[in-house]
Amino acid sequence: MKRTVLMRRIDRRTMLQTTGMAAAGLALHSNAWAWAYDAAGGSPIAPIATAGFPIATTGAGKISGVLQDGINVFKGVPYGGDTAKTRFMPPVPPERWTGVRDCSAFTTMAPQLQGARGGGAGRGAGAGAQGAMATSSSGVPGAPREQGTQSEDCLHLNVFTPGLRDKKKRPVLVYIHGGAYNNGTVNSDLYDGRRLCRRGDVVVVTVNHRLNAFGYMYLGDLAKEYAASGNAGQLDLVLALKWIKDNAAEFGADPTRVLIFGQSGGGAKCAALMATPVAKGYFQRVMTMSGQQIKGASIEIAAGRAKTVLQKMGIADGTKGKELVAALNALTMEQIQDGARAVSSDWLPVVDNVILFRNPFDPDAPALSEDVPMMLGNVHDETAVGGGLNMTWEQAPAALDAAVHEYLGPVKAEDAVAAFRKVDPTYTPVQVVRAAATAFRAWPGQRWEAERRAANPKSQVNTWVYQMNFPGAQGLAMHTIDIPFMFDNIAIAENQVGREPEHLAQANSLAAIMSQMLITYGRTGNPNGDDKAKSPTQDGKLPYWPAYDLKNRSTMMWEAAPRIENDPRGAERMIAEQSHYHQAGTPLP
Angle (deg, nearest 10), helices 396-408 and 429-437 = 0
Q: Which residues are CB-neighbours of 119 under 8 A, at least 6 positions away?
A: 125, 126, 127, 128, 132, 133, 134, 135, 142
Q: Which residues are CB-neighbours of 125 under 8 A, at least 6 positions away?
A: 43, 116, 119, 134, 136, 142, 143, 144, 145, 495
The Cα–Cα gap between 236 and 211 comes to 10
CB atoms within 10 A of CB 458: 11
Q: What share of the chain is helix, strand, coil (3-state, %, to 5)?
A: 35, 20, 50
The Cα–Cα gap between 189 and 313 comes to 35
Distances (CA, A) of 220 to 114, 224, 235, 530, 576: 26, 6, 15, 46, 37
Strand bridging mode 66-68 / 71-78: antiparallel
Catalytic residue among 264, 369, 459, 554: 264
The beta-strand segments (E) located in 368-485 are: 374-379, 463-468
What does the angle CA 567 – CA 569 – CA 573 come to, to the nearest 5 degrees? 90
Q: Is 65 exposed, middle or buried (0-12, 13-18, 19+ CB in 10 A)?
A: buried
Amino acid code (one letter) for 157: L
Q: Is 515 a catalytic residue?
A: no
The Cα–Cα gap between 560 and 1 comes to 56
Give me the active site residues, please.
264
